[in-house]
Structure 1
Amino acid sequence: EERARNGPFKDLIDFAERVDLKQVGKRSLENLARAGALDGLCASRAQAFASAELLIRTSAAHQEEQQSDQGGLFALDDAPALAKPKLPAAEEWTPQVRLDEERAAVGFYFSGHPLDDYEKELKRLNTVTYVEAQARAKTGRAALQMAGVIRTVRMRRSKSGKPFAWVEMSDQSGEYEITVFSETLNASRDLMEAGSLVLAGVTVEERDGDVRFTCETMRSLDEAAAASVSQLRVSVTSPDALEGLKRRLASVRPASPRESGSVVVVMRLADSGREVDLALPGVAACTPAMRGALRSINGVADVELI
Structure 2
Amino acid sequence: ATLSSDMDKTDKVVAFLDECRTLELEVLPPEVNASEYMFVATDPRTVRYGLGAIKGVGRGACEAIASERASGGPFRDLLDFCKRVDSSKLNRRALEALVNAGALDALGRNRASLMLQLPEVVKATDQLARERDAGQVSLFGGGGAAPALEVHLTEVDEWPLSQKLAGERETLGHYLSGHPLDPWRDDLRALVGTDLGELDKLWSSAPQAEKKGWRPEVGVVIAGQVVALRKKGDSQMFVQLEDGRGRIECSVFAEAYTQLAPLLTRDRILVVQGGLREDEFSGGFSLRVRACWDYTQLCASHAQRLSLRLDMRMPGLWERVDGLLARHRPGATPLRLDLLLKSGEGGVAGVLDLNGPKSVRVDAELLDALRAQPGVRAVKVAISRPWAN
TM-score between the two structures when normalised by the length of structure 1? 0.74
The residue that corresponds to 2:379 in the other structure is 304
- What CA deviation, in whole Å up to 9, does each residue of 1:243-294 have, x standing for no partner? 99799x69xx98xx78x77797968699xx99999x9x9956455x865665
Identity of aligned residues (%): 24
Within a 5 Å distance, the mapping from 1:177-188 to structure 2 comes to 177-188=249-260
- What CA deviation, in whole Å up to 9, does each residue of 1:181-236 have, x standing for no partner? 24333433443222111111121122546533111111122343562233545435
Q: Which of 169, 172, 176 is the equivalent residue of 1:110?
A: 176
| Structure 1 unpaired stretches of 5+ | none
| Structure 2 unpaired stretches of 5+ | 1-66, 212-216, 382-389
The residue that corresponds to 2:226 in the other structure is 150
Matched pairs, number: 286
Cα distance in structure 2, aligned partners of 1:207 and 1:274: 53
The residue that corresponds to 2:246 in the other structure is 174
Within a 5 Å distance, the mapping from 1:62-211 to structure 2 comes to 62-69=128-135, 75-76=144-145, 79=147, 81-87=148-154, 90-137=156-203, 140=211, 141-157=217-233, 162-206=234-278, 208=280, 211=285
Amino acid at match of 1:227: A
Q: Secondary structure at the match of 2:186?
A: helix
Deviation at 1:83, TM superposition (A): 3.6
Cα distance in structure 1, aligned partners of 2:79 and 2:312: 33
Tell me whether 1:23 sits opposite 2:98 in the alignment. no
The residue that corresponds to 1:3 in the other structure is 69
- What CA deviation, in whole Å up to 9, does each residue of 1:139-161 have, x standing for no partner? 6221111111111112222xxxx
Amino acid at match of 1:184: A
Q: Which of 293, 298, 307 is the equivalent residue of 1:219?
A: 293
Kept in 2: contact 1:180–1:215 (CA 8 A): yes
Kept in 2: contact 1:234–1:263 (CA 8 A): no
Q: Secondary structure at the match of 2:266?
A: coil
Amino acid at match of 1:76: A
Deviation at 1:27, TM superposition (A): 2.4
User: Hey, which of these two has a bigger chunk of strand by percent?
Assistant: 1
Kept in 2: contact 1:94–1:293 (CA 8 A): no
Kept in 2: contact 1:261–1:284 (CA 8 A): no
Cα distance in structure 1, aligned partners of 2:124 and 2:359: 46
Kept in 1: contact 2:307–2:338 (CA 8 A): no
Looking at both structures, which has the greater relative contact order when contacts are Cα pairs under 8 Å and sequence separation is at least 6? 1
Change (3 A) 1:134 1:265: closer
Superposed CA RMSD in Å reads: 4.0
